[in-house]
Amino acid sequence: AQKITQTQPGMFVQEKEAVTLDCTYDTSDQSYGLFWYKQPSSGEMIFLIYQGSYDEQNATEGRYSLNFQKARKSANLVISASQLGDSAMYFCAMREGVYNFNKFYFGSGTKLNVKP
């Protein structure tokens, strides 16, 4: 089974609107971490936001927030007030467990296009 599933290969959003990028995960571990990365066309993977499995509050970083629904195993990224510079690939990732915690699993990504 896929560890991380991103079901939206591509999305469009109008500038200044909010957008939600979906991510579901699969793990039987109680301790895990969830991450979102942005990858512009230049290729660099930029860390955006982190949510720990024991964190009770949803993580927020500026215009980014992570909608963490543990029972549903979902960790959706919400970008508020989209900007043209938000156009990029977005990857959801998970680091699971305490053992072998060095391994990160990535989803297939969502390509976001922000329209002026």
Partner 1 sequence: DAMVIQNPRYQVTQFGKPVTLSCSQTLNHNVMYWYQQKSSQAPKLLFHYYDKDFNNEADTPDNFQSRRPNTSFCFLDIRSPGLGDAAMYLCATSQGLGTQYFGPGTRLTVL
**Cα distances (Å, whole numbers) of residue 60 to 80, 107, 115:** 11, 21, 24
Residues 24-53 that bind partner 1 (CB under 8 A): 33, 35, 37, 42-47, 50
Q: Is 11 in the site for partner 1 (CB under 8 A)?
A: no
Which DSSP symbol is given to 116?
-
Q: Is 12 in the site for partner 1 (CB under 8 A)?
A: no
Could you give the count of Cα atoms lying within 13 Å of 19 in the half-sphere of its Cβ?
22
- Report which residue type is found at 101: F
Residue at token pair 């290729």: 43
Which of 17, 52 has the CB closer to partner 1? 52
Number of residues that bind partner 1 (CB under 8 A): 24
> Which run of H or E residues covers position 47?
strand 46-52
Which of 37, 76 has the CB closer to partner 1? 37
Residues forming contacts to partner 1 in the complex (CB under 8 A) are 33, 35, 37, 42-47, 50, 89, 91, 93, 95, 98, 101-104, 106-109, 111
